[in-house]
Structure 1
Amino acid sequence: MTLAELNHLFDPEQFRVSGHALIDLLAEQLTNQLNGDASLVKWQSPLEAEQAWRQPMPESPEFSNEEFITWLKQEVLPRNLSMHHPHSMAHQAAPPLPIAALCDLVAALSNQAMAVYETGPAATLIERQVIRWLNTAVGWPQGAGVLTSGGSQANLTALLAARQHMGANIWNKGMAATPRLRILTSEFSHYSIRRAAGIMGLGVEAVIAVAVDEQGRMLPQALKQAHEACAQNQEQVMAVVATAGCTPTGSIDPLQEIGEYCRTHGLWLHIDAAHGASALLSEQHRAKLHGMEMADSVTWDGHKLLYMPATVSAVLFRDEAASYSAFAQDASYLFHEEEDSEARGFNTSYRTLECTKRMMGLKLLAAFKLYGRQGMASLVEHAFTSAGYFANLVARTSGFTLLMHPQTNIVCFRYHGNSTLTSSSAMLNELQANIRKKLLHQEMFHLSQVNIGDNIWLRCTFMNPYTQQAHQEQLLKAVACMGDDLSANRKRAFPPFFCN
Structure 2
Amino acid sequence: MKHSNPIIAEIFDAQQFAETGHQLIDLLAAHLKANIAGTSKVLNWKVPSIEDQHWHLPLPQKSTINPQGLLEKLSQEILPNNLAIHHPHNMGHQVACPLPMAALCDLVASLTNQAMAVYEAGPSATMLERQVIRWLCALIDEVSWSFAGGVLTSGGAQANLTALLVARQVSTSKANPSSNVWKDGITQQPALRILASEHAHYSVSRAAGLMGLGTNSVIKITTDKNGRLDLIALKNAHQTCLENQDTIIAVVANAGCTPTGSIDPLQAIGEYCQAHELWFHVDGAHGASALLSESHREKLSGIALADSVVWDGHKLMYMPAAVSAVLFKNEQHSYVAFSQDASYLFQGDNHEDEAFNLSYRTLECTKRMMALKLWAAFSLYGTEGMGALVDEAFAKAKVFAEKIQRKSSFELLMKPETNIVCFRFLNKKLSQEAINNHQSAIRQHIIQSGAFHITQVNLHGVTWLRTTLMNPFTTALDLDELLERVALGSQAVLSIAK
TM range (shorter): over 0.9
- Is 1:164 the counterpart of 2:169 in the alignment? yes
1:346 to 336, 342, 356: 356
Q: Which moved more, 1:343-352 or 1:82-91?
A: 343-352
2:154 to 130, 149, 174: 149
CA displacement at 1:66 relative to structure 2:
0.7
Instruction: Work out the CA distance in 1 between the residues paired with 2:475 and 2:68.
Output: 37
CA displacement at 1:112 relative to structure 2:
0.2
- Is 1:213 the counterpart of 2:224 in the alignment? yes
2:114 to 94, 112, 115: 112
Q: Is the 8 A contact 1:384 1:408 kept in 2?
A: yes
Instruction: Work out the CA distance in 2 between the residues paired with 1:353 and 1:38.
Output: 41
SS in 1 for 2:31: helix
Identify the residue that residue 485 of structure 1 maps to in structure 2. Answer: 492
Instruction: Work out the CA distance in 2 between the residues paired with 1:154 and 1:425.
Output: 38
TM-score (norm 1): 0.96
Q: Is the 8 A contact 1:113 1:356 kept in 2?
A: yes
Identify the residue that residue 496 of structure 1 maps to in structure 2. Answer: none
TM-score (norm 2): 0.96
Instruction: Work out the CA distance in 2 between the residues paired with 1:283 and 1:205.
Output: 39
Instruction: Work out the CA distance in 2 between the residues paired with 1:441 and 1:4.
Output: 47
SS in 1 for 2:403: helix
CA displacement at 1:315 relative to structure 2:
0.1
Q: Is the 8 A contact 1:29 1:38 kept in 2?
A: no
2:305 to 284, 294, 308: 294
Q: Which moved more, 1:1-10 or 1:128-137?
A: 1-10
- Is 1:415 the counterpart of 2:420 in the alignment? no
Instruction: Work out the CA distance in 2 between the residues paired with 1:23 and 1:410.
Output: 32
The gaps in structure 2 that reach 5 residues or longer are 174-178
Q: Is the 8 A contact 2:115 2:121 kept in 1?
A: yes
SS in 2 for 1:237: strand
- Is 1:181 the counterpart of 2:189 in the alignment? no
1:404 to 392, 405, 414: 414
**What amino acid is the match of 2:429?**
T
Deviations 1:243-271 (A, max 9, x none): 00000000000000000110011100100
Q: Is the 8 A contact 1:112 1:358 kept in 2?
A: yes
Q: Is the 8 A contact 2:335 2:351 kept in 1?
A: no
Instruction: Work out the CA distance in 1 between the residues paired with 2:466 and 2:196.
Output: 23
In percent, how many aligned pairs have the same letter?
A: 54
Matches within 5 A, 1:128-277: 128-139=130-141, 140-166=145-171, 167=173, 168-277=179-288
Q: Given the superposition, is the C-alpha separation of residues 316 and 467 from structure 1 closer, same or farther in structure 2, using an over 3 Å criterion?
A: same
CA displacement at 1:429 relative to structure 2:
0.6
CA displacement at 1:340 relative to structure 2:
6.5
1:357 to 348, 363, 367: 367
Q: Is the 8 A contact 1:94 1:305 kept in 2?
A: yes
CA displacement at 1:41 relative to structure 2:
1.2
Q: Which moved more, 1:83-92 or 1:231-240?
A: 231-240
CA displacement at 1:467 relative to structure 2:
0.5
CA displacement at 1:2 relative to structure 2:
4.1
CA displacement at 1:232 relative to structure 2:
1.2
Identify the residue that residue 306 of structure 1 maps to in structure 2. Answer: 317
Identify the residue that residue 494 of structure 1 maps to in structure 2. Answer: none
Instruction: Work out the CA distance in 2 between the residues paired with 1:325 and 1:342.
Output: 13
CA displacement at 1:16 relative to structure 2:
0.2
Q: Which moved more, 1:159-168 or 1:328-337?
A: 328-337
Q: Is the 8 A contact 2:199 2:258 kept in 1?
A: yes
The gaps in structure 1 that reach 5 residues or longer are 492-500
Identify the residue that residue 398 of structure 2 maps to in structure 1. Answer: 388
SS in 2 for 1:176: coil
SS in 1 for 2:187: helix
Instruction: Work out the CA distance in 1 between the residues paired with 2:160 and 2:451.
Output: 35
Identify the residue that residue 340 of structure 2 maps to in structure 1. Answer: 329
Deviations 1:163-197 (A, max 9, x none): 11021210011102321100000000100000000
**What amino acid is the match of 1:280?**
L
Instruction: Work out the CA distance in 2 between the residues paired with 1:10 and 1:488.
Output: 58
Q: Is the 8 A contact 1:89 1:446 kept in 2?
A: yes
Instruction: Work out the CA distance in 1 between the residues paired with 2:352 and 2:229.
Output: 40
Instruction: Work out the CA distance in 1 between the residues paired with 2:307 and 2:47.
Output: 44
Instruction: Work out the CA distance in 1 between the residues paired with 2:451 and 2:408.
Output: 22
CA displacement at 1:13 relative to structure 2:
0.2
Instruction: Work out the CA distance in 1 between the residues paired with 2:103 and 2:492.
Output: 41
**What amino acid is the match of 1:313?**
S
Q: Which moved more, 1:228-237 or 1:287-296?
A: 228-237
Deviations 1:285-318 (A, max 9, x none): 0000000000000000000000000000000000
Identify the residue that residue 128 of structure 2 maps to in structure 1. Answer: 126
**What amino acid is the match of 1:362?**
L
Q: Is the 8 A contact 1:164 1:325 kept in 2?
A: yes
1:73 to 68, 71, 75: 75
SS in 1 for 2:80: helix
**What amino acid is the match of 1:407?**
E
Q: Which moved more, 1:171-180 or 1:356-365?
A: 171-180
Instruction: Work out the CA distance in 1 between the residues paired with 2:20 and 2:212.
Output: 48
Identify the residue that residue 439 of structure 1 maps to in structure 2. Answer: 446
SS in 1 for 2:464: strand
CA displacement at 1:341 relative to structure 2:
4.9
**What amino acid is the match of 2:146?**
P
Matches within 5 A, 1:424-463: 424-463=431-470
**What amino acid is the match of 1:217?**
R
Q: Is the 8 A contact 2:445 2:493 kept in 1?
A: no
Q: Is the 8 A contact 1:151 1:301 kept in 2?
A: yes
1:378 to 388, 401, 407: 388
Q: Which moved more, 1:251-260 or 1:134-143?
A: 134-143
How many equivalent residue pairs? 487
Instruction: Work out the CA distance in 2 between the residues paired with 1:82 and 1:48.
Output: 21
